[in-house]
Chain A
Amino acid sequence: MNISIDVKELDQQTTMTLAGEIDAYTAPQLRETAFPYTEKKQASVVIDLSGVTYMDSTGLGVFVGLFKSLNANDGTLKLVGLSDRLKRLFDITGLADIMNINSEAEGGV
């Protein structure tokens, strides 16, 4: 019932690999860890969600926040490795049309 966040930085790109559950308990930790990477100019952030076993609206809220921050700094956010469950959550909330999400782990464009 926890979350692990692994961050790798290469040039302008930041790749975060998440594993565990994203709920109201773990979301603040995720937001705090990820947010600074979205504030750099033209940053490219890729978040791998293939290890995420549970997520609800608090998780969606974090990704919306990161997305907005990156947009404000001319950066991009890509969410990859979404399970069918996670994909559905983005679909029913309408976020799938707005954000760049991909079921493939490597995020093949």
Chain B
Amino acid sequence: MKPADYIEMKIPAKPEFLGVTRLTLSGIASRMGFSYETIEDLKIATSEAITNAVQHAYKGEDGEVVIGFGLHSDHLEVVVSDRGKSFDFYETKKSLGPYTDHSAEFLREGGLGLYLIETLMDEVKVHQNEGITLFMTKYLEGEQVERDAETIST
């Protein structure tokens, strides 16, 4: 589905630009009518995706990360692409999940980012070509149900 409006940012693959991206995302999401809580979730998921792109794709090398925002009437699609060296998403994904073991020895310091993305977004898809492109979708509150109902009635 082609978005009604599309906004794209290209940032140097450096963590200091994470904040700028969050500010842009806040503006877009608030304009679309997302609640404060959901905007905070979107900020975390998007930051996690960019952090992965910056830390895993470019280890000390220069590169760029492209962040696309597809504005649909009932949902926002956030696309994060590193187009650089890729980290193995599926391999990384296997080791994800909430902490269940109560022993400090088993605490992992990383690996939580992808888990948070999946928890906080409604849909997450990955395309692996030259780099990694992550597609994340968040529906406006209640819209997902409405949309399904519409499909049934027509």
Q: Which residues of A contact B20 (CB under 8 A)?
A: 1
B37 to chain A, nearest CB (A): 8
> Is B107 in contact with chain A by the CB < 8 A criterion?
yes
Q: Which residues of A contact B100 (CB under 8 A)?
A: 94
Q: Which residues of A contact B109 (CB under 8 A)?
A: 61, 64-65
Number of A-B residue pairs having CB atoms within 8 Å of each other in the complex: 69
Whether the Cβ atoms of A92 and B104 lie closer than 8 Å is no
The count of chain B contact residues (Cβ–Cβ below 8 Å) is 28
The count of chain A contact residues (Cβ–Cβ below 8 Å) is 24
Given contacts A64-B107, A68-B104, A92-B119, contact A25 B99 (CB under 8 A): no
Whether the Cβ atoms of B104 and A58 lie closer than 8 Å is no
Give Cα A85–Cα B35 distance, bound, in whole angstroms.
Answer: 13
Q: Which residues of A contact B119 (CB under 8 A)?
A: 92
Given contacts A56-B44, A61-B112, contact A93 B98 (CB under 8 A): yes
User: Which residues of B are in contact with A by a Cβ distance under 8 Å?
Assistant: 15-16, 18-20, 22, 40, 43-44, 47-48, 51, 54-55, 98-100, 102, 104, 107-110, 112-113, 115-116, 119
Q: Rank and list the top 3 A-B pairs by shortest CB-CB distance, nearest first.
A: A1-B19, A94-B99, A94-B98
